[in-house]
Each structure stands twice: as C-alpha cells, then as structure tokens.
Structure 1
Amino acid sequence: MGTIHYEEYLVNSQLLHPTIQRFINENLQNDVQKLLLSNKKIEHVSIKEIVKQIECKKKSKKKLPTWFETPNILYHKKINIEQTSSEITAHYKAQLFSGESMIDLTSGFGVDAYYFSKQFQHITLCERNNSLLEKVKHNYQQLDVSNASFYEGNSIEYLKSIQNPIDLIYVDPARRNEEQKVFLLEDCMPNIIELQSLLFEKSHRILIKLSPLFDIKELTRKLKGIKTIYIIAIKNEVKELLVELEKDYKQETTIVCENLETSQPTFTYSINTLSSTIHYASEVASFLYEPNAAIYKSGAFNLIATQFDLKKLAQNSHLYTSDVVVKDFPGKIYKVNTLLNPQTKTLKKALNQTHYNIISRNYPLKVAEIKKKYKLLEGGVDFIIFTQIKSKKIALLCERFS
C-alpha cells in the first residue's frame, strides 16, 4: 500500500494496513517500552511510528470515544490529544450555536469542528500543520463528515480574504510559548485583542475557548462585546472557559456555570449582580453546602448564598449552611452529624474508624497534613470537613446527602 488519494489531499496509508491496525488494537494494554525495544518493522513501518499511534489511541479512549471506536483513525501526536477539547465539552459548545457557515481558525485535531459540523450547513477548518491537517481530513472521511472544507496555512490571512459573512468564528488560541503556559490574551496566538475588529468585520458572533486559568475580570476588561462567559466543568473539574462575543453588544455579560456529567443544575447570573450582602452563620446548622468547581471559578460566593438563602461559615471558607434542604443546589450537600474539636486527642477519641473522605477549606492544614497528624486514611463513606466559623477552627463529621 502506498498512498490513499482523496479529492484534494494525500494520506500516507501504511499505518492503515490491516496487519498494523490489528497490532495497534491488540497492544493497547501492553507496555510500549517493551514494544520499542523490539525495534522491528511491520509492513515496512517502524515500531516507533506504530507505538506513537498506540499511545495516542490509548489517550483518546475516554476523552474521544468516537475516535477510539471508529476504525482506521490516524493520530498525530500525544500533545494534540492532550490539548484538544473532550467530546463532552465539544458537544456542549456546539449545541449553543447553529447556522449556515462556521470557521474554526485553530482546528488542531478537529474535535470541536466535528461537532459544529452537526449544527452548521458548512464548516471550514484552518490549520498550519500540513501533516496534522491531512490526518484530520482522512479521519473526517472515516467519521462520515461531508460538509467540511480545509485550509492549510495562516488562518488570519485566509479570514481576510473571505467575502461572505460567517455565522460563527471559533478560535482556540495557542497558550504555549516555548513550552511555557501563558494566561494573558496578548501572549496567545492568534492575538484576539488585536484581531477583534477583523473578527467582527467577518462575523457578528465569535466564540473563544480559553484555559480555566484565565482571569474572568481581565477578560471583561480586554474584550469587546462579551455576551456570555461559560465556565465548563466535568464532574467538578473545570475544563475550559468559553467567551461568546457579539458584534455591537452593549448589555450586561451573563455568566453560565456548568458542571457536566452530574445532576447539578446550571447556575446563571449577570456579571453585575454579584451580591455584596452576605449573612454569616453563628453556628453550623443541619446541612452544609459546597458549590461546584464552576461556581468557585466564577467567584459568585456571596450571590450563591443570597440566591439560595444560605448562611456562609466564614469569608474565605466558601461553605454554607442551613437547617433545611435546599433543592437544586449547584454543588454538594452534606448532612452534618457531629461538630468536632480538631484538637488532636479530642478528635481521635470521637472517631470510630480510620478511613474518611477528608476536605480542607479555609483551614491552616492541607489534606495530606491532616491525614498525617491524625493518622487518617482516605476512603470510606463518611466525610470530615476541616474549616473555620467565626475564626474558630472546627471539624465536621458529615455524610453525603446529594
């Protein structure tokens, strides 16, 4: 086998040989270092090249199950799998928009664009790396995507040449400079701040994907027309920020906090309605509330209390309490069984087991230090939450309520 000829591109097909594909699938659980030591070739392809496919496919199993389960997918590098959106977040963001045309200025491995292809009549993927783009083209054939076109080269120059308006421009700026992560928009490529006028010249709607480490207040100072900022978590781990820009948008920015793959509801608010009024608890009530990671990122610590009629334990604890169960709370709810004195001897006497789920919030000791000090092990069904109320250190023995 030599090359497979599709309409406008070439894909090296040696890795698609049935013998090699079978070898890849049979060795997904095996030690790749041992495979590399064999230094053999299969169908004239080096084991090093085959191992690269094995490593990438292993990484895609949970993050990109559609790619993992589809036969004859070609992978590029592990870093592409690590940096790409998961299918969960890609599907979420695609459902927010629809229309005739969409362009992805930084398409990478093509995961986000794949899901946008289900929402738009035609999509365009831009990518500088020819080898990566060829693999994406081939993969789209395997994934039955028929409404995509591809541009290899400088996406900004291509954007300048487009005459017809675009319904959505999507961009995931590169956040790595000489392998060092950066979290300022002006340090990213492409530089969205400098390109705002051009982007709005070509489309009335822009969607920017950013790392969770970007500062939301900083984004609102530097970008024009922010309609919505989506904070996307999966199972209580924030994965990405989505910033939706709309041309000539002058109203308040909406913040949307999502904790996907959980039963927790979406928490939405206007950025200018962050409450400054807060009621602090004088004592811990029957139930304890911990907002999810997306809300932590948003900084809506006072608003969550006022909206759900909760009292906060302390300014920096971000834990809340009430005597009644609050339905549809966007986070975890614990039933408080016992309030403990965290003095070493007193606490040890009160505990009847060694395994607990340990949480430290606004407490001088980290979880590892707590486990060492009290000789506790992680696990079990009960929780011990170390925190403070009215500047007093406390430990709460709890069970998960919801």
Structure 2
Amino acid sequence: MTDQELKEFILRHETDSTAELMLHRDRWPSIDMQVAVRCIQGRAKARNKLPLWYAEPGLLYPQSLSLEQCSSQSTALYKQRFVREGDRAADLTGGLGVDTWSLAHAAASVDYFERSEELCACARHNFHILGRDNITVHTSEISREMLQGIPSGSYSLIYLDPARRNKGGGRVYSLKDCEPDITVLRHELLRIAPRILLKASPMADISVLLSQLPEASEVHILSSDNECKEVLILMLRNNSLPAEEIPIVAAELQSGDNSGEGTEEFHFTLREEREAATDMAAPSEINGFLFEPSPALLKSGAFKLPSVRFGLKKISASTHFYIGHAPVELFPGKFRRILEVLPFHKAAIRDFRKKYPACSVTARNFPMTSEELRRRLGTSESDTFRVLATTASDNSRVLIVSAAMPHVSRRISC
C-alpha cells in the first residue's frame, strides 16, 4: 500500500461506515484497512479540532486517545507567543505532536520526545507532510536519569504536557499525580532550559499550582466553546515574583482561529483581585444587561475585578454574574439584555411556561440544578431566551430572563 493509495482511499470513503469497511475489507486487498479506518476516524475528530490538519489527507492518526488528549488547533497556536526568535525548543511529552508542530512554526528547531514508537513513527511522517522539517523525533521516556544526560543550556524553551491519567486509566489533576512529575523534575529541567512552559489540568487549583511551582512567572488560562480547555504556566529559572504579583491571563479563543490570539483577554494579578472592592446590586437594580464571564475568567478567580474595571455590579458575593445599564464591548464574556426579573415562587413558576415555552435554563448559587429547574419550569431548550435562577444580594431567589444580543466579532485585551 502506497501513501497515495491510502490517501485516495481515505478521501473516497471518509463518509462511509468504518464498521462496514472493516467487515468488507477483502474488497480492497491492497489497503491496510486498520490503518485506513483509524485515519478516517481520526480525520472525523480533527475536522473541527484541528482544521489545518484535516486539510491534509495524507496524515496518519494513531490510537484515538492521543487525538482526544491533544491540544486543539487554537490552543496549540496560542503557545507560539512563548517562543522567541531563534529558540531551540523541546517538547518532552510529544504525543500526537500538535503542540510540537505549532512551536516549530516559531522556533528555530524543536526536539520531539515520546516513549511510544507508534506515536513517534506517525509524528515523523506527519511533520514531514506538514512541512515542519525543523523537528527532530526522539523515542525516549522522560526520567531524571534521561534529563541528567542532557547538557546544561541545551534548550532555550522546554514544553511539557504531563499525562493526567493514572495506571488504571482514571483522570488525575494534581501535578504530583501526573507523569512525569514536574514538581520533582523542575530543577533538572531549569538546568537544561531557562524557560519551561507547562500545561496543567483545567481542573487544577491555580493557587495550589503556584505554591508547587515557585519558579512560575505567568499563568495563562484558555477557554473556547464555553469550556475551560487549558492552564499554562511559564516558569523562569531565576524567577523571584511572589505569587500575588504573577501576571494571570484569562483568554477566550475562537475555535478554528489560525492566529492563535485570544479574542478576549483579561490580565490581572491575585493582589489586584484581593484588593478590589465591588458593589452588589440590590434586587431592584437587576435590570439593563446581564454579563456572564468567560470560562477562562471564571477559572482564573477574578470575581471582583470585572465589576471594578467595567463599572458593573455583582448580583451577589457568591453569584459571579454582573449587572450593567449599557452594553460593554470590552467585557470578556457574554452579555444579554434583561427582559424581566421574577420572584421564585409558585405563581411565577405556574405562569412561566406560558410566556417562555422554550428557553435556556441556568441555575447558579441556587438550591436546584439547572436540569431540576428545567423540569420544574416545564420548558424546552432554546437560545432565544435564557433564564438565570440565582440568589440575589438580599438572599431572595429570583429568575432573571434575558435575550441574546446580536453577535459582534471581537478581539480585545484588558
């Protein structure tokens, strides 16, 4: 089977049932059907996650787990901002190679390390097809002994995305439970390179990460498609910034964006958040516009600063939604026009379905889940209207009904 035969087969059959292809594989004796099916399945997942990879039908895809765990195109491209001109970089946890490929666009050279021979073979093939000939592939497992064999200063930037699954296949979130354990290897890594870029679990606690990594100098939290995707930590060899002074960037990325830039970025420090004083909206002041922070901003822990910077009021101390009397285009998140505010009692619930038979339902800081509330209200799903069930600053329960604003393409930084 030649590469050209495989490519033509994939393009001809990528919408076919892979189960049927495997069942009738005898029809195509020259095709390695397992490889072809894996590529067809991989391309289906890459279509939205990695559109630039999907555009190249000659790429190989190994086991599905590596594609599920790899960075998306937008988060991979974002990492290019950490690369300086002339950098010699190393990706010590290569995997499918998406981050390596992205770093290689900006770095002079990148060394890709991966312990799986299958992944290395696929990566070597794919890097060549993608025109990234400044990448060298190494089949190697990262360990203290392996790192000790690398001369000091061999690289200017090292990137790691430690495996976040235990031996039983379960997910782990603590750095100490990931493999490799960077809390143990960080001194050895910083001997080899003055800058370390670490990808941590989006579930990890930011304050815990900073306490475990005293060399941390920046934190970047990335979200897209209404979900927090990645937490990135830049470590510097001789960093002396206290945790409260470390710059934190909450960036909302546009899926499929080839620039790698955040469409909405919010920059702050933990000290600024701690010292911020915010006003709470009285129930009678809940009108005008409802502002919802991006997932990255929520993950960052900047709950008070948005109201200070944008002149908004919080609904309550524990409800991280904001109220304003006019649209704020620079706000890092979404905003909707408030239609009405209803008290949460039997009469309002009884009449709600008549007025809003279809709406999106969200419960925050409320004694019911969103699904429980949906069943209680008896509504079907729709994005035209949205009801936020929450607790106001006077501890009363309210239903805030809002309507979507026209979409505006934004690229902002604040």
**TM-score (normalizing by structure 1):** 0.91
CA RMSD of aligned residues (A): 2.0
Q: Which moved more, 1:346-355 or 1:210-219?
A: 346-355
Residue 111 of structure 2 corresponds to which residue in structure 1?
Answer: 124
**Separation of aligned partners in 1, 2:110 and 2:194:** 16
**Separation of aligned partners in 1, 2:194 and 2:107:** 15
Is 1:232–2:222 an aligned residue pair?
Answer: yes
Deviations 1:345-378 (A, max 9, x none): 3344355241112222212222222221121011
Deviating beyond 6 angstroms after TM superposition, the runs of 4 or more aligned structure 1 residues are none
Residue 295 of structure 2 corresponds to which residue in structure 1?
Answer: 293
Residue 26 of structure 1 corresponds to which residue in structure 2?
Answer: 12
Residue 5 of structure 1 corresponds to which residue in structure 2?
Answer: none
Which structure carries more relative contact order (alpha carbon 8 Å, separation 6+)? 2
Residue 161 of structure 1 corresponds to which residue in structure 2?
Answer: 149
Q: Which moved more, 1:347-356 or 1:265-274?
A: 347-356
Taking a change above 3 Å as real, the CA distance of residues 328 and 385 of structure 1, as seen in their structure-2 partners, is: same
- Total equivalences in the alignment: 388
Is 1:133–2:120 an aligned residue pair?
Answer: yes
Secondary structure class of the residue paired with 2:384 = strand
Which AA in structure 2 matches 1:84? Answer: C
Deviations 1:208-244 (A, max 9, x none): 0112011111101111211111000013211111010
Secondary structure class of the residue paired with 1:318 = strand
- Spell out the pairing of 1:3-402 with structure 2 (5 A cutoff): 14=1, 16-18=3-5, 20-40=6-26, 42-98=28-84, 99-156=86-143, 157-163=145-151, 164-177=153-166, 178-251=168-241, 252-261=245-254, 265-275=264-274, 277-283=277-283, 284-349=286-351, 351-389=354-392, 390-401=394-405
**Separation of aligned partners in 2, 1:374 and 1:353:** 9
Residue 7 of structure 1 corresponds to which residue in structure 2?
Answer: none
Secondary structure class of the residue paired with 1:25 = helix
Conserved 8 A contact 2:157-2:195: yes
**Separation of aligned partners in 2, 1:395 and 1:265:** 28
The offset of 1:51, in angstroms, is 1.8
**Separation of aligned partners in 1, 2:56 and 2:327:** 45
Conserved 8 A contact 1:71-1:142: no
Identity %: 28
The offset of 1:94, in angstroms, is 1.3
Secondary structure class of the residue paired with 1:22 = helix
List runs of 5+ in structure 2 lacking aligned partners.
256-261, 408-414
List runs of 5+ in structure 1 lacking aligned partners.
1-13
**Separation of aligned partners in 2, 1:140 and 1:78:** 19
Conserved 8 A contact 2:104-2:132: yes
Secondary structure class of the residue paired with 1:377 = coil
Q: Which has the higher strand share?
A: 1
The offset of 1:297, in angstroms, is 0.6
**TM-score (normalizing by structure 2):** 0.88
Which AA in structure 2 matches 1:396? Answer: I
Taking a change above 3 Å as real, the CA distance of residues 385 and 264 of structure 1, as seen in their structure-2 partners, is: farther
Secondary structure class of the residue paired with 2:335 = strand
